[in-house]
Amino acid sequence: MLELAWPAVSPQAIDSFFSLALGFAFAGLCATGYSVFADQLPSFRLLEIGPAPARFASIPLLMFAAPFIIMRNTLRGRRIEGRRTEFVMVATVIAGLWSLMSGTVVVTALQALLNS
């Protein structure tokens, strides 16, 4: 009888997948939380408006909500402006890498919190 052998998935690949997924989920949580309290969608323009302390305070929010903002702007640009598919693919890779990095920070923080 012929058995199919599934390739083994390394623990590092599983960690990376969870970091990616958690990064996107946390980005959505940050962006939605901001829009609930501020009655507007988060944007990179937060760095340009308001007094200097408010601009400085928006940096952590934008750091973690950036994958959500990038994907929202990319998909809206594709639908409204008809941006090219290559641009959407590049923006998706950028948002994915950013999500992977921020998800790694969140996972590390959760591990440190649970181990202490």
Percent of the chain with pLDDT over 70: 97
Q: Are 67 and 98 in contact (CB under 8 A)?
A: yes
Residue 9 lies in a domain: no
Residue 107 included in any domain: yes
Q: pLDDT tens, 60-88?
A: 999 999 999 999 999 998 888 888 889 99
Residue 101 lies in a domain: yes
Percent of the chain surpassing pLDDT 90: 66
- Exposed e or buried b per residue across 55-83, where buried means at least 16 C-beta atoms within 10 angstroms of its C-beta: eeebeebbebbbbbbbbbebeeeeeeeee
**What is the per-residue pLDDT for 11?**
87
Residue 43 is part of which domain span? 16-115
Residue 3 lies in a domain: no
Q: What is the DSSP letter of 44?
A: G
Residue 2 lies in a domain: no
pLDDT at residue 1 tops 70: no
Domain membership flag for residue 94: yes
Tell whether 55 is covered by a domain.
Answer: yes
Q: What is the pTM of this model?
A: 0.84
Q: How many domains does the chain have?
A: 1
Flag whether 1 is in a domain.
no
